[in-house]
Structure 1
Amino acid sequence: MHLDTEALVCAAIAHGENGAVVRFLTAEAGLVAAYVPGGRSQRLRPALAPGTRVRLRLDGRTETQLARAGVEIVRSRAALAFDPLALALVEWLAGLAATLLPEGHPYPRVHETFESVLDLAELQDDPLVTLAALARFELLFLAELGFGLDLSTCAATGQTEDLAFVSPKTGRAVSAGAGAPYADRLFRLPAFIANGGAASENDIAEALRIARHFIERDLLSGRRAANLTAARDRIEARLKR
């Protein structure tokens, strides 16, 4: 496999005396793994921090052999390490990609939205804007992996108006009338998820709660994901301040 493109670093694991096995997310080839010689050196270590955008030059001699890669920093996100929320975001997003995306399958929307959330974390003074973008990313991530929510019609009546809840079992919307008797067992449907527009703090918290429920149930179930969920816990703690 030969590749010369920009990529987002998702995870790096020490390998050998001074190298690293790294998972990169690219727009055209999806998640790719490669051995980076000298990846633990002082020169290359900053380039392999999660969230960094790099120029990736990858060369694999056979289909079964782990490719070797050279990298150069295109955009460092080192400043995010000094913001607890931003650091947790990087760990969560990069961890989701490295853990759950199948290698070699392109997910251009995931790649684009991943980076846009990091851009917001870097540029926005209001963390609520970043957290609203995170909720949208998580719902997109679920959809791209085949577990998307159906928020277009009421699961009970088929109507498209007055949708107010989300079923934690089916991931489908429920209208206010049909869901009222079971409101304590349903998620509230945040308006910005259903209709776009501005998001209140309560709406963002509910959207993140919904997304986490389905990510943990449908994608992380049975996996060792303690580090991932710890990063997600830190994100939610920031919202509760």
Structure 2
Amino acid sequence: MEWVDDAIVLGARPLGEGKLVAEVFSREHGRYGGVVHAARKSQPILQAGNLVHVGWKARLSEQLGFFSPLELVEPHATRLLDDPIALTGLSSAVTLIRAATPERQAYPQLYDAVMVLIEAMPHTDVWPALYTRFELGLLSAMGYGLDLTRCAVTGETGGLAWVSPRTGRAATAEAGAPHADVLLRLAPFLVDPEAELKSGDVADAFALAGYFLERRVFDQRGEGMPDARRRLIERLGFAGRL
């Protein structure tokens, strides 16, 4: 059994002397683990968020297998070393993928979404909003996508401002007004990519995605939301970027 593909590094841990167990996320193969020999040489390559070209091989499909070749394509993590907040965002994104996706199942749209996010991270004013879109894409990939296309009450497609925490469906400002105390705010940029990004919109988007990630993904597995995400929101908040 074997395959070759480009993949995003999710992390690595030591395995005995001179070996690592690495985990990557490939467009065509999903989340895979494998043994890497020559740990000292490979460790700089296996920084979470880096793009690598890998081959995975095993005698039987159910075995852990090993990675060879393992070649660096884009050192995304290294390029963000001077931007601690972006590096925290990168860490949070790969941690969510690692925690939420089942092994060896392809999610090509999610892979494309995280690549768009990673490539946008040098642009300080852009990526936090893209990050929240990535989280909604993760929800959708896990089978829990929200319906933000039309109002669940009136069927209207314009003026959407709320989301039901029960159904994950949107509502217009007028239709949701009587229940505003229990509804989640819907940031305009999540519906209209051309909408002006205002103060508080990214915070609302984080709250929306986080509510459903926690209840529909992580609570179902008996796990809490990864700390990496909390640290990201804290850092963005301290920097006034929510």
Q: Which ranges in structure 2 are unaligned for 5 or more consecutive residues? A: none
Q: Given the alignment of the two structures, is residue 112 of structure 1 paired with residue 112 of structure 2, yes or no?
A: yes
CA distance in 2, matches of 1:145, 1:50: 22
Alignment of 1:39-54 (within 5 A): 39=39, 41=40, 43-54=41-52
- Partner in structure 1 of residue 55 of structure 2: 57
The alpha carbon displacement at 1:238 in A equals 4.7
C-alpha separation between the residues in 2 aligned to 1:177 and 1:98? 39
Relative distance call for 1:203 and 1:226 in structure 2 (3 A) is closer
8 Å CA contact 1:91–1:231 kept in 2: the answer is: no
Going from structure 1 to structure 2, the CA distance change for 1:45 and 1:30 (only over 3 Å counts) comes to same
Q: CA deviation at 1:225?
A: 4.6
After TM superposition, give the deviation of residue 32 of structure 1 in Å.
Answer: 1.1
Alpha-carbon deviation of 1:115?
Answer: 1.6
Moved more, 158-167 or 55-64: 158-167
CA RMSD in angstroms comes to 1.8
Distance (Å, rounded) in 2 between the aligned partners of 1:180 and 1:117:
33
Deviation per residue, 1:182-207 (Å, 9 max, x gap): 21221222111112214223222211
| Unpaired segments ≥5 residues, structure 1 | none
Aligned to 1:146: 143
Once residues 203 and 225 of structure 1 are traced to their aligned partners in structure 2, the CA distance between those partners, rounded to angstroms, is: 21
Partner of 1:177: 174
Q: Which residue in the other structure is 2:36 paired with?
A: 36
1:11 to partner: Cα distance? 1.6
Total equivalences in the alignment:
236
Q: Look up the SS of the partner of 2:214 in the other structure.
A: helix
Query: Which residue of the partner structure matches residue 15 of structure 1?
Result: 15
The one-letter code matched in structure 2 to 1:223 is: E
For residues 224 and 116 of structure 2, the distance between their equivalents in structure 1, rounded to whole angstroms, comes to 27
> Residue 6 in 1 paired to residue 3 in 2?
no
**Kindly tell me: are residues 164 and 154 of structure 1, through their superposed partners in 2, closer, same or farther at Cα, counting changes over 3 Å?**
same
1:187 maps to which residue? Answer: 184
Higher helix share: 1
**TM score, norm. by length of structure 2:** 0.90
